[in-house]
Chain A
């Protein structure tokens, strides 16, 4: 199947259709994936991948707190993680 283009943290990325948003995020990095920063500033990645733990919550198309593991990528989807960029 033809890849689709999504945007992850303002960067356009090609990925296969029908994969989860979480899988799309994971395909992009060789490091352990960081999806969010906690109230204390610690990096967190996905834990349960089944919609239980809420560790993989990201902003999708400007709607915050979406579970990356529970959504399928769509062409043009904009995903924003809360990974601290440029240090925090």
Chain B
């Protein structure tokens, strides 16, 4: 049978874990749903740090918390319900409150050669190294933008990778502004300083972007561009990624209003534009782990009506969100598109090229004519790319939010569970 309505948290990263724990501690049952085999989200993924382990232990053992790992929301349903696919089953769950803590993903933008095996996301490469991929002795070029570059370079180097170079799109004066902004956030400053020293042995190119990747005799050759000057590096792996974008597909499908930087929420309650639906952490806007934790606490206090602790929790969120605003100011703006060749693939799932997409005027027309965005990733990669390259907004997110088994969808047929489709502006 389907469980009774409870608070449902989607995403077991720091924000979702904190929210679930606090609600459970206040005596309310919580269901937490997460895609991954392990809790912790992308940042705490298998990280043997004390706070991560403590939070994970709490999640696994608390009698009020039910954890569904390797499970995905396939569709929001009317009357505060969700269709959820689990590893070998599916369920329709009802929520009293829905907390969207779906995190962020890397902004991976097309460039000639980005589909070659050996080209990976910067954060993705770090996640893989942390989950057991050997990197020792491999030549890695890191080219992109964002605060992720430095800790990733540090991790890869610690695991024995040879970082051939680091290229950051932002020029020195913007990075300096970023560093100055860290002064009010000591833990972030410490983080930045610990990952820096080991990196000075790698060539560092600021104000430099990657414009192409080709195959070389051994591995790959990347073309970097600084002003009008072009130069090349050979590497076994090329890590790319331009900052992060929120995972807001679920929020949009539920009907929440969003902005390009995240899910729109009331800053004091973290409530979205949909009743009983809240958004926290990176999905609300990229702001880092402390921000995610502070918002996890605030949303839990809000839902459990713990009025005494609310003012302090709101102050903490406001302080951490100031850092998010700072991050967005430095790294948020998308770069000018890299010149693409006619045959550069934009939609990786369906092999749709730049030349095929160029004649179209909207995301919808391109989807219908070329199958762009209709592959398994459901436009998660190419949707962001098309908005960047052609200025097309994604007009709607339609369930299923992820490829699902027929048996999961068949659950809908048994009753009146018609998926709701909302169009956003």
Contact = CB atoms under 8 A, between A and B. Distances in A.
A70 B35 contact: yes
A70 B36 contact: yes
B123 interface: yes
Interface residues of B, number: 40
Contact of A54 (B118, B133, B247, B349): B349
Contacts of B247: 52
B276 interface: no
B405 to A, nearest CB: 9
B117 to A, nearest CB: 3
B400 interface: no
Given A20-B128, A53-B380, A54-B375, A48 B105 contact: yes
A5 to B, nearest CB: 16
Contact of B120 (A16, A46, A57): A46
Given A26-B133, A38-B351, A52 B105 contact: yes
A51 B35 contact: yes
A48 B134 contact: no
Nearest to A51: B35
A49 B127 contact: yes
B14 to A, nearest CB: 15
Interface residues of A, number: 37
Interface string B375-386: 111001100000
Given A23-B133, A65-B403, A69-B127, A57 B37 contact: no
A44 to B, nearest CB: 6
Given A47-B124, A49-B120, A22 B131 contact: yes
B125 to A, nearest CB: 7
B168 interface: no
28 contacts: A18-B132, A22-B128, A22-B133, A26-B134, A27-B132, A33-B117, A42-B115, A44-B115, A45-B118, A45-B120, A46-B128, A47-B121, A48-B106, A48-B120, A48-B121, A49-B125, A49-B131, A51-B35, A51-B36, A52-B381, A53-B380, A54-B377, A55-B348, A65-B376, A69-B127, A69-B128, A70-B37, A72-B37
